[in-house]
Each structure stands twice: as C-alpha cells, then as structure tokens.
Amino acid sequence: MSKAEVLAERVPPLAARKKRIESEPLPRNIGALLDEAADAIPDHPAVVFIDTGESIAYRALRQDVNRLVNGLLSIGVRKGAHIGVMLPNIPEWPLTWLAIARIGAVIVPVNTRYTGRELHHVLDDAEAEYLVIHSNFLPVLASVPHPLPRIEGRVVVAGGATAEHRLWHALLDGHSAELPPLSEPGLDNLINIQYTSGTTGFPKGCLLTQRYWLLVAKVQSSCDDRAYPRVLASTPFFYMTPQWLLLLAFMQRGTVYVAARQSASRFMEWLRTYRINFCLFPAAAYKQPQAPRDGENEIVRVSVYGFPKRSHADLERRFDFVAREAFGMTEIGAGLFVPIEADDMVGSGSCGVATPFRECRIADMQGNTLKPGEVGELLFRGPGMFQGYYRKPEATAVAFHGDWFRTGDLAAMDERGYVYIVGRLKDMIRRAGENIAANEVESVLAGLSGVAEAAAVPVPDDMRGEEVKIYVVLQQGYTRQSLPPDRILAHCAANLASFKIPRYIEYRDAPLPRTASEKIAKPSLIQEKTDLRVGTWDRIESRWR
C-alpha cells in the first residue's frame, strides 16, 4: 500500500495506545504463544525460508517443537540447562530455540563468524552444558584454544552426518509430539544468555527472560496499531531481531520470511515477492542503484536505526513507504520509537519517544535528571529488561543508576519527549549493525609480537556506518617491513570474527597520546585529521591512502 494510504488510516492517540498495550496480559510463556497461534490458524504458514522455499505451518511447527522437546529431554536436557547454539538461518535454529523455551532451558546463541577463541569464550563463560552446531562449524569447534569439558559428549550436529556426535535430526525424527508432564517455565524464567560486545573486553552475556522476548514482540507488533501479516527477517537468528520477529508473527497470526543472509541487492526483490508489510530496512539497500519498481511494495512500516537524517525524506519518496526511526539494545529490548503518524519527525534525527513498558530520561554522570535540551546519558527502566550480565556482578552494578540502565549513549530530549542521540560515552565501534568493543580488538593486537601499543577507533563510513581503524606503535627493532599490514591482519583474522577485523591501519613512530590517568587519549587521535583514512593501509582496497 502507498505511504499516503498508510498515513490516512487513523490510529488512536499515542497515550491511549500505550495504556492499552501495557494493560493487556501476556501469554504465560513463549510456548503458550505458539500454542495459541497453532490453535487459531493451524494450516497457515508460520515460517518460510526464502532460499530453500521450505514452509512450516503452525500445526507442523508445534509438532516439530514438541518432538524436539522429547529429543532434548532424552539426552538429559532439563529446565535451566545451558545450550550453546551455533547454526545459520535454517529451520533447526527457531525449532531449537522454541523447544528450549518449552523446556525452560537456556539458549546461548553463538555468532557463526566467531573464531575458535571467541567460541571458547562464549561457551566457557556461559557454562554451556550442550552444544548444537552445524557441521560447517566443526572446524571452528576443533580450533578452540582450551578444552571445554562441560560439553564433552554433548555435541549435537545439524547439517551433516558424523560418527562422533549425536545428530539433530535424530532428536526430532525419533520422538513423539506428545509432551510429557513438564514444569512449565514462567515469564521471569531465563531463556537467553545473549552475548553483546558491551563497552570493554570480551562480550558479556545478557540474561534475558521469556517476559523480555514477549514484551519486545508485543511492542513491535502493537505500537502502531496496524496489521503486519508478512514480516521479513533478513539478519541471522543469533542476533536479536529474528527472534522477536518470529514472536511478532505469532502475535499477528502472520508469517515470517527468513533469508539465509542479508543482501542489499536482493532486499527490494524480497519485499515485492513476499509482499512484506514490516521489516528493518538496512541503509545498504538505500545505497543500491535506483530502479523503476522501487515504489512497488506493500510495506506498512519499516524501522530504521540511525539512518542519515538528510536522506530520510528521500528514502520515503523513493520507496513510497513509511520509514520510522527506533532505538533498542540487547539490555533493554525496545526502547524508543517514532510513531507511525509522526510524519513531521521525518528527517529530524530523533529516534523517538519511549515505547510501551519503558521510561527514559537524560542524566548527568551522577544520575541526576537534566532539563530538556541538555546533553547527558540516556537511561531506561521498565519491566522485562535484562537481569544483568552473567557472572559479572561488578559490570552489572556499573551499568545502572539505581533501577535505571545506563546506555552509554549521549543524548538530549525535547519538551515532547523525543530523544536525539548526539554521541557516545562508551568505547564502541558500530559497524553494519554490529557492536565492536575497541578494547577487544586492542587486546588481540597486544598479543602479537612486535606490537608495543594499539588503539582502535571508529571511522565514519557511508555504507557500514563505521569502520574499524587501528593505530599501531611497534616495539623497538620492528619496522613496517618486518611487521607489515598483512601479518597484523592475519593475526586479527585468527582471533576475531570477520566483522571485527580492522579496515584501516596507521603506523605511528611516537607513543600514543595519554590522558592524566594514563588511558589512551582517543579524542586527540581522532582530532588529528579531518579524514581518518589518510595515511592508512586500507584492507578492502589493498592500498595505502
């Protein structure tokens, strides 16, 4: 439908919508939501996998989930057990998540681009007792730097036969869809240990409950008071978005269309072919060449995150759809959104007002609320946020002012409650939707012989938002010739997921500037040049700039 038609459909006032959404009861748990949808529309497609054409109706989805529950129980999985899952976007991912939710166990999603070092950290830190992994990633598991005794003999492989491990399909195919008596999980039972790069060092595990996921799905499903029968999930399931999009589809009694991987060149084709009504729209799709059919779609709304405000109006004009900014984090779920009727906010740069179930405010470093227009840290509170970082009480304590979560983002709020992000307190690089802790990149570089000092900073990029740049100071006796860029990059590739590998390398002869507390003065580094790419080795273009 056209943008004009979408905006012509009147919605109740925002305050009334929020009050209604917050007053409505949630399902008992994620399994109960699946049951409700399967009872209501048993033969309707629940999930369609775009690349293979596989479609699973609600009745069949429930049966497969229940069979997998019995299969997991047969190998010892019980309520509270931690299960690592390293799978691509194939049916095994949502089926495993839903079965884990039904049991009341806990999933530990693993990024499929992780190296052995990163995989070991996540499984060890989360105290994973089982691992469900695709056969393609068995070499990564074999490369972990230290043993993982907790999962020994408890590895389940999907996507290929192996004599060493249990097979995922044997857990599904060999069991009944009749469930045994189970102690049903409640809304506040843990379901995910979701790893996020946070602000320092290795990723930290966010403790997310069933309430968390149901609230995110409910907010996204209901905040605009519109129907989204067909939604698109184009990013990996191990991220946040496809998980809540799946539940959004259940709530809408609709269908989620799952792509194997994100593709800017195919994105508009997906929207047209599958008549998508709601999705998250990547900036990279806007960068594609304009085409005559760009405006042919049935979008009701797309959500964008940090889209360039100067291009926002052109985005809507070109594709003839409603695009609204939003803000969320692993720790809080949905935080801010621009209402669908707020056409006046297009191009404003605001990421919206507080969603249902969330309060937000701007505070100084002591947690004191600031006046409208003043810049400070963006804070949130509300039900169903994360329960803390797993086994990291100190990091959890630092992340809060009382019951208000500290985002690490600098922002201002106007008199109407609209929030504008203006910067960051946290040492983070945001590349193509991925959070990269600068400290982790620096720690890996510190382990390379010949590197005396290293600092990672963000470089603005039109396509990916930001790219990673590193400053490198070499130890005495080393030169750019004896430790060239390709050796530095090979070391990074062996220890970091591909999206964390620096694009730009700048060698420095003098020590890096320091603050009075002996921290690297990154603002000084960044302010040295108008164009941070000058004088660097560009990994993508394989040349000195």
Chain segment 396-408, per-residue pLDDT in tens: 999 999 999 999 9
Residues paired with residue 166 on neighbouring β-strands, in sequence order: 156
**Confidence check: pLDDT of 200 > 70:** no
Distance CA 370, CA 84 (A): 42
d(CA 131, CA 173): 19
Q: Tell me the pLDDT tens digit for each residue of 384-433.
A: 999 999 999 999 999 999 999 999 999 999 999 999 998 888 788 989 88
Instruction: Give the closest residue to 503 by CA, choosing from 529, 533, 468, 535.
Output: 468
The Cα 277–Cα 224 span in angstroms is: 13
CA distance 72 to 149: 19
User: Three-state secondary structure along 37-53?
Assistant: HHHHCCCCEEEEECCCC
At 296, the pLDDT band (50, 70, 90 cuts) reads very high
Is residue 92 predicted with pLDDT exceeding 90? Answer: yes
**Contact 487/507 with Cβ under 8 angstroms?**
no
Which structural domain, as residue segments, surrounds residue 460? 428-544
Would you say residue 15 lies in a domain?
no
DSSP for 136-171 reads GGHHHHHT-SS--GGGTT-EEEESS--SSSEEHHHH
> Among residues of the chain, what percentage have pLDDT more than 90?
84
Indicate whether 219 pLDDT > 60: yes
Joined tokens for residue 218? 């409910």
pLDDT bracket for residue 127 (50, 70, 90): very high
- What is the predicted pLDDT for the residue at 340? 97
* Pairing mode, strands 504-508 and 428-431: unpaired
User: For 164-195, what is each residue's pLDDT tens digit?
Assistant: 788 999 999 989 999 999 999 999 999 999 99
Q: Is 378 within a domain?
A: no
Last residue of a domain, which of 190, 212, 234? 212
Half-sphere CA count of 91, side-chain side, radius 13 A: 19
Provide the number of structural domains found in the chain.
2
Residue 35 lies in a domain: yes
Please state, in angstroms and rounded to a whole number, the distance separating the CA atoms of residues 311 and 152.
52
Query: Is residue 73 within 8 Å of 66, Cβ to Cβ?
Result: no
The one-letter amino acid at 174:
G
Q: Has residue 155 been placed in a domain?
A: yes
Flag whether pLDDT at 346 surpasses 80: yes
Task: Give a yes or no: residue 147 inside a domain.
Answer: yes
Q: In CATH, what number is assigned to the domain containing residue 189?
A: 3.40.50.12780
Mean pLDDT of 34-56: 98
Contact yes or no for 185/171 (Cβ under 8 A): no
Share of the chain above pLDDT 70, in %: 98
User: Which residue, 179, 212, 245, sits at the end of a domain?
Assistant: 212
Within a domain: 243 = no
Average pLDDT over residues 485-502: 95
The confidence score (pLDDT) of residue 210 equals 98
pLDDT band at 1 (very low <50, low <70, confident <90, very high): confident
Contact (CB, 8 A) for 232 and 263: no
Band of pLDDT at residue 516, cut at 50, 70 and 90: low
Mean pLDDT of the chain: 94
Domain contains 411:
no
